[in-house]
Amino acid sequence: MMRSLIPGILAMAAIVVASNILVQHPLGAYLTWGALTYPFAFLVTDLTNRLQGSAAARRVVLAGFATGIVCSFIGTQIVGEFGPLVTLRIAIGSGLAFLAAQLLDIAVFNRLRAGSWWKAPLVAPIISSSFDTAIFFTIAFSATLTFIEPSNDVSWAGAATPLLGLGPIAPFWVSLAAADWLVKLLIAFVALLPFRLIVGRLLVKVA
């Protein structure tokens, strides 16, 4: 059983490590390159769930969570221009968001797995990644949670700016969250193609 989980665990670990590295590199005003890789963690979870069941998917998620903890710890030890690359709030936010959202993804996927082939791998990531975005950005940047890490000045994230440069006035971190969420929605649709191809090919081999 454990051997069969190795591809999923390695894929999840690779995505988590890559995302933790790429999140340090901006992509435009509201995104980082990590926003393009992280959503594929939901694809790994859903593939494992479809092919091996929810118990296997949870083990893969826990492996990703452990990898994320290691990455966060390393990030706290690396000091950049503005302090540690990973602050306590970011570490807590990313860890809780990942674990809660991935487990929610598994639960929603299971509720929908008997329906049309596309429903579970589309709806589950949309719901769970929305949850992920809300948890992470609120914990990491909301002024209401400053007590988590008083020494971490995130006043820049609370600056009042037009939402995504176009909409109503909102804290800057809300624009960051909105941009991240929109990318996750897009990738949820894009990931349907590899999901269909991989599941179809592997199920044919099993048969």
Reported as a single tens digit per residue, the pLDDT across 135-168 is 999 999 999 999 999 999 999 999 999 999 998 9
pLDDT at 82 (0 to 100)? 67
List the CATH number of the domain containing 64.
Answer: 1.10.1760.20
pTM: 0.93
CB 148 within 8 Å of CB 88: yes
* Inter-residue contact 145 to 139 (CB < 8 Å): yes
Residue predicted with more confidence, 129 or 4: 129
Burial of 96-126, coded b for 16+ CB within 10 Å and e otherwise, reads ebbbebbbbbbebbeeebeeeeeebbbbbbb
pLDDT in tens, 64-108: 999 999 999 898 888 776 677 889 999 999 999 999 999 999 999
Whether residue 30 contacts residue 14, with contact meaning beta carbons closer than 8 Å, is answered with no
Structural domain total, the chain: 1
> 3 or 168: whose pLDDT is higher?
168
The pLDDT assigned to 1 comes to: 56
Query: Which residues constitute the domain of residue 114?
Result: 2-206
d(CA 124, CA 119): 8
C-alpha distance from residue 16 to each of 66, 83, 88, 128 (Å): 10, 22, 18, 17
CB 41 within 8 A of CB 102: yes
